[in-house]
A and B are shown apart, each in its own frame.
Chain A
Amino acid sequence: MKIYFFFILLLVLTTTVSVVHAADPEGGKAREPQEPLLLAPIFAYQKHISPVLGGKCPMHPSCSRYCVDAVKKHGPVLGWIMTCDRLMRCGRDELASSRMVRIHGNSLGVDPVSNNDFWLKNHSR
């Protein structure tokens, strides 16, 4: 029974395109519009798990930030596909060709969403 519940929850999280317009309980400021509910686990990871792990992603932005950016820009389906691609590339061959940036004393490879979707629209630069 538990496994079915988990399955349904995962299905809901990965297919929903509903948006959250809830107010921020802290400042009363409206949350960013069109923020897919799908991103809730990513925000939870950033808030509760990443600080414990130490945030060791060698890329900038980090993979979780990249996921948020990709989903916001391209929606949940392509955003998730781009995130999977990024997870497979993180910290290996990409570092050899990326521009490097120093953040908090760490040298990180710059790889924003725009570096990986520029070819989707036909432009010269």
Chain B
Amino acid sequence: MKVNLFPHFRILLFILAMGFGGTDKVLADSSKTIEPGRQLEFAELYYDAGDFFRAITEFERFLFFFPDHPKADYARYKTGQAYFQNREYEKALETFNSMVKKDPESGLAFSAYFDLSDCYFMLKDDFNALSVLDQAAKRSKDPEYQDKARYRAGWLLVETRQWNEARLFFDRIRDNNRTRYRVTDLLAGLSEVKNIPQKNPSIAGALSVIPGGGYLYCERKKDALVAFLLNGGLIWAAAEAFHNESPALGTVIALVEAGFYAGNIYGGISSAHKYNDRKTVDFIDTLRKSTRISLQGGIESPSVAILYEKSF
């Protein structure tokens, strides 16, 4: 992995300049003044270096000393973003919410709506993630912003597998932005949803009556063979024990076999669900790579895709 050391180097230079640049002056003066511009710059250096924990501290220091500074709202917004990057989604949510409540019509508040939606998404609150975007689109009078909100809402619905609703949101993007947002490609891609390979969990469960049948149906040949041999062996052993007039041993083996037989049925059904899930995730990934654009322009980088990676 390539590590960009340049921001760290800048931080080091900054600290050295602060520490040694004016040694005589520092010794002469007992106090030192923090300039708002320098403090904000320092916080942003940490943010750009990816040290979000320290960036939060420095942005909060700025807000503590200069609460009425014209850039205070910007610092608050960056604090929220640093919390988000640091995976502290609850705190990020709190920060963005306070911004939206304070001045709902400001430019930064409209940016914060998108961040709020991302926070809700990461907290698996899909309803609020969508409702914030809808609210933002209704509140804004800027058609460009409204299209951006619709595009984000559409993708949110794709990520949550609500295909028809996603199609409706993409379709509401205005004509002059449809090429930019690749709406035609998106709608064509979404029409392929019905072609995602699927396995029926009920069939997998029914086929598991023969040990390994469900696994085999879900293309798990090795698991199927193991399930068949293990269950077959235990059934044979239990039968032999009863046949040899060892009912206690037979019962113990039968009890163990009952667990493995039930596990084979459970595994068959579970494998079908996992197969379907994996194929759907693959479909979304392909759609994302081929059609999703960065809202700054161009195809979205893989690092942004990781942000939405499904974890179950």
Contact = CB atoms under 8 A, between A and B. Distances in A.
Interface of B: 124, 126, 159-162, 201, 215, 219-223, 226-227, 230, 246, 248-249, 251-252, 255, 259-260, 262-264, 266-267, 269-270, 273-274, 277-278, 310, 312
Secondary structure at the B interface, as helix, strand, loop or mixed, is helix
Contacts of B278: 97
Interface of A: 3-4, 6-7, 10-11, 14, 80-89, 92-94, 97, 114-119, 124-125
Given A3-B249, A93-B221, A124-B162, A114 B263 contact: no
Secondary structure at the A interface, as helix, strand, loop or mixed, is helix
A116 B255 contact: no
A87 B260 CA distance: 9
Contacts of A94: 223
B248 A3 contact: yes
Given A3-B249, A124-B126, A89 B312 contact: no
11 contacts: A4-B248, A6-B252, A11-B255, A82-B266, A85-B267, A88-B260, A88-B267, A93-B220, A118-B312, A124-B162, A125-B310
B266 A92 contact: no
Given A84-B260, A114-B312, A125-B310, A89 B223 contact: yes
B217 to A, nearest CB: 13
Query: Which 10 residue pairs spanning A and B have beta carbons closest together?
Result: A84-B263, A85-B267, A119-B273, A85-B263, A92-B222, A93-B220, A81-B262, A84-B260, A84-B259, A124-B160
Nearest to B228: A88
A81 B258 CA distance: 9
A51 B61 CA distance: 50
B264 A85 contact: yes
